[in-house]
Chains A and B, each alone.
Chain A
Amino acid sequence: MNSVEGLVNQIQGLSTTASDVLSLQNLLKQADDSLHAESTRLLPFLDQLDPSKHSLGYLYFLEACTAGPVTKEQAGSYVLMIARFITSCIAEQIRLAPDKFITVCKRFKDQVLLLEEPLRGVAPMLTAIRKLQSSSEHLTALHPEFLLLCLLSRCYKAGLSILEEDVFEVDQPRDLFLFCYYGGMISIGKKWFRKALELLHNVVTAPMSTVNAIAVEAFKKYILVSLIHHGQSPTNLPKYASSVAQRNLKNLCQPYIELANSYSNGKIADIETYVEANKDKFESDNNLGLVKQAVSSMYKRNIQRLTQTYLTLSLQDIANRVQLNSPKEAEMHVLQMIKDGEIYATINQKDGMVRFLEDPEQYKTCEMIEHIDSSIQRLMTLSKKLNGVDELMSCDPLYLLKVNLLFHIKASLVVT
């Protein structure tokens, strides 16, 4: 008890300047075990500490407090406490003990899920991420937790701000896998198929030494999303995917590969029978909704293929070629596609003819200028970043060793 009280006093005293905080951190590290031993009695001491001033000490106490098993009633109060702590803590102090902070936030997430109210965790987790990140390009272990909460609470828009950022630094590979996978799922939920494709592509081509389950699931979704978005599935993984992935992923996702094959044949009836036959497999992977979307996107593909052959076509013809039931349905599909900007056409309702047009973009407008200009700016920042990494690489001792070895060998053969 005395040691805990003494610790509380020290925390209150040493939390003002940066050097004090560093010495406080050493003290706390040493006292960590004793704190854990007294974890059940620490709760009243927490009231003596102010999270907005004594963040580091509060963090240690909180972590010790929540270490044991937690009941549902306790979870409620803990959730409130942790949420308040996250909103009011000081970022610099927190960054001195990132592991503890991550542990506390993960426990927070578990408790929120225990209470079955994931929505309560979304906002505090976002604040926690912003405080833990050293820059907006840094991927912490909290990112996937946050996205998981967004997914479970169906609060997809909150995840958007996190997904838009470019990631350049990653703490743990597992974080990246989970982050991209959950991000892909959120994007699918919001129907941003291009972003979903990009994120899932990252998971599938990330370097891995053994096949992991996240990559397998991601690959299944990747096939389906690329069917929906592009109308074709990737037959082979790109060369930069790890050899482990290239060898094994296809074998583990056999039903999806066959689905993609029958998709490319273009016959809707075949695909529908195949889906019916394998319904359980798709359902067990929770992918049935995506599969259905893929099937319905087949109509779009077929209509798009028509634009490449015909200039004008009647609605009846479209319905026949695309195997739709009636011209009315065909009209609905075409109208939807025109609205989404997937084809350019005009429907003449008097004689039921559809005329396919060229892309009307003339590249003459100011909006296009701004669009290209912003792309150029993005490329410039990327180029600077690449140059920085390139320089770092040139100074890397391992690289210099290998290059110098070659140079010395050649030079010793040439000199005198």
Chain B
Amino acid sequence: MASSSSSGLTFKLHPLVIVNISDHYTRVKSQLNPPPLTSTSATVNGVENQQQAPRVYGCVIGVQRGRTVEIFNSFELLYDPSTHSLDRPFLKKKQELYKKVFPHFYILGWYSTGSDAQESDMHIHRALMDINESPLYVLLNPAINPTQKDLPVTIYESELHVIDGIPQLIFVRSSYTIETVEAERISVDHVAHLKPSDGGSAATQLAAHLTGIHSAIKMLNSRIRVLHHYLVGMQKGDIPCENSLLRQVSSLLRRLPAIESEKFQDDFLMEYNDTLLITYLAMFTNCSSTMNELVDKFNTAYDRHSRRGGRTAFI
């Protein structure tokens, strides 16, 4: 698995594909987890019975114009674990259906989930070579890594490399860009807002601003502490007295406070009080909402009399 492709193709990936793969994976995983509820869907769509990470498979379709490959859409496929191949009749049927709706789209390759491309994937890759002579392999890594900045999606191509004298097909990674249509942008934005902690809404901007200020103040505090420690040592006599340093420290200290007038004091304190009051109000609201949730939970668990909401019919 080399790390750079030399085919010279530019890949453009649409967000719909990523959302589709992610949705497929999430559905399968959540249906797998509570076993007593879902006895039927345990082996659908190529799920191996691992407890942690079921692998899902499917096809990606799109358009190839010259050197640009644009991946527009994807659909799911059944994976047969016994023959290690994808379900061909189903694939054909799906292909015909999609051809009717999107006449320009071709099957460009296939996708799967996992952390890295594996040897067994080569079989599937080869099997698809009769549809497309150089299929793509889109890999989505479902592990959530909060420190990672990029999308966990990689696109692999297959290339014939000579290794130890034997020509072999191996996967090579290719770079890609994300391309969006207006409709996709709106829907992606909508999905992003479902988890406000990851979106760029106003609340996080405020939090980012305050965090910046907080770290700045912390740094200032630690530096002043160092200076203070130094001066105390100098006062005790452990460190020899250096007048130039003392002059510098004294000039630093005289830079604050910047203004001394009474009007400034008044205005400053009033604004300070206003901010504190707003913080107080925010804390109040926060506490009230926690209290509200707590009371709701308590009532759900223990309240015998008032069960409002008629959807609790015990069939």
Which residues of A pack against B, CB within 8 Å? 362-366, 368-369, 372-373, 375-376, 379-380, 382-383, 386-387, 389-390, 393-394, 396, 398-399, 402-403, 405-406, 408-412, 415-416
Q: Which 5 A-B pairs have the closest CB atoms?
A: A399-B301, A372-B276, A363-B273, A379-B283, A386-B290
Q: Give A348 Cβ to nearest chain B Cβ, in Å.
A: 29
Residue in A369, A386, A411 whose beta carbon sits within 8 Å of that of B273 in the complex: A369
CA A406 to CA B311, docked complex, whole Å: 8
| A408 & B40 in contact (Cβ 8 Å cutoff) | no
Bound-complex Cα distance A368 to B31 (A): 57
Q: Contact: B297 with A390, CB < 8 Å?
A: yes
Are A412's CB and B37's CB within 8 A? Answer: yes
A363-B277, A373-B276, A383-B286 provided; 8 other pairs, C-beta below 8 A? A363-B274, A364-B266, A376-B276, A393-B301, A399-B301, A402-B300, A405-B314, A406-B312
A415: B residues at CB distance < 8 A:
31, 37-38, 41
Most-contacted residue by chain B among A373, A387, A402, A410 (CB, 10 A)? A402
The answer for the CA separation of A257 and B293 in the assembled complex, in Å, is 35
Which B residues are in CB contact (< 8 Å) with A369? Answer: 269, 272-273, 276
Can you report 7 A-B residue pairs in the complex whose CB atoms are below 8 A from each other?
Answer: A363-B274, A369-B276, A376-B283, A402-B301, A411-B37, A415-B38, A416-B38
CA distance A380 to B276 in the complex (A): 13
Chain B neighbourhood of A398, CB < 8 A:
301-302
Residues of A within 8 A of B302 (CB): 398
| A382-B291 Cα distance, complex, nearest whole Å | 10
Q: A409 vs B37: C-alpha distance in the bound complex, in angstroms?
A: 11
Inter-chain residue pair count (beta carbon < 8 A): 80
B294 at the interface (CB under 8 A from A): yes
> Do residues B269 and A364 form an inter-chain contact, with CB atoms below 8 A?
yes
A-facing residues in B264-315 (Cβ within 8 Å): 266, 269-270, 272-274, 276-277, 279-280, 283-284, 286-287, 290-291, 293-294, 297-298, 300-302, 311-312, 314-315
> In angstroms, how far is the closest chain B Cβ from the Cβ of A359?
15
Residue in contact with A379 in the complex, picked from B287, B298, B301, B312, CB distance below 8 Å? B287
- Per-residue CB contact flags for chain B residues 39-52 toward chain A (1 = under 8 Å, else 0) read 01100000000000
Bin the interface of chain B by size: 20 to 34
Contacts of A396 in B (CB 8 A): 297, 301
How far is B31's CA from A416's CA once the two chains are assembled, in angstroms?
10
Bound CA span A380–B283, Å = 7
Bound-state Cα–Cα, A402 to B287, Å = 25
Q: How far is the CA of A403 from the CA of B31 in the complex (A)?
A: 19
Asked whether B37 lies within 8 Å of A366 as measured between CB atoms, the reply is no
Determine if B297 and A399 form an interchain contact, defined as CB atoms under 8 angstroms apart. yes
Please give, as numbers and ranges, the residues of chain A lying within 8 Å of B266 by CB-CB distance. Answer: 364
Within 8 Å CB of B298, what residues of A? 393, 399
Contacts of A363 in B (CB 8 A): 270, 273-274, 277
Indicate with 1 or 0, residue by residue over B58-101, a CB within 8 angstroms of chain A CB atoms.
00000000000000000000000000000000000000000000
Min C-beta distance of B266 to chain A, whole Å: 5
Most buried by B among A399, A408, A411: A399
Residue of A nearest to B315 (CB): A409
Q: Which residue of A lies closest to B313 (CB)?
A: A409
- On whether the beta carbons of A366 and B294 are closer than 8 Å, the reply is no
Give bound CA distance, A373 to B272, whole Å.
11
Chain B residue contacts of A376, Cβ below 8 A: 276, 279-280, 283
Tell me which residues across on chain A come within 8 A of B287, comparing CB atoms: 379, 382-383, 386
Known interface pairs A379-B287, A402-B301, A412-B37; A372-B312 also in contact (CB < 8 Å): no
Nearest Cβ in chain B — how far from A380, in angstroms? 7
A394 to B300, CA, bound (A): 11
Chain B residue numbers with a CB within 8 Å of A416 are: 38, 40-41
Q: For residue A373, which residues in chain B have a CB less than 8 angstroms away from its CB?
A: 276
B269 surroundings in chain A (CB, below 8 A): 364-366, 368-369
Which of A364, A390, A396 lies at the interface centre, i.e. has the most chain B CB atoms within 10 A of its CB?
A364
Complex Cα–Cα for A391 and B294 (A): 9
Are A393's CB and B41's CB within 8 A?
Answer: no
Question: How far apart are the CA atoms of A289 and B116 in the complex, in Å?
Answer: 83
Residues of A within 8 Å of B286, CB to CB, are: 383
Q: Are A379 and B284 in contact (CB under 8 A)?
A: yes
Q: Are A389 and B276 in contact (CB under 8 A)?
A: no
Shortest Cβ distance from residue A58 to the other chain B in the assembled complex, whole angstroms: 42
Residue of A nearest to B284 (CB): A379
Q: How far, in angstroms, from A405 to B287 measured CA to CA in the complex?
A: 29
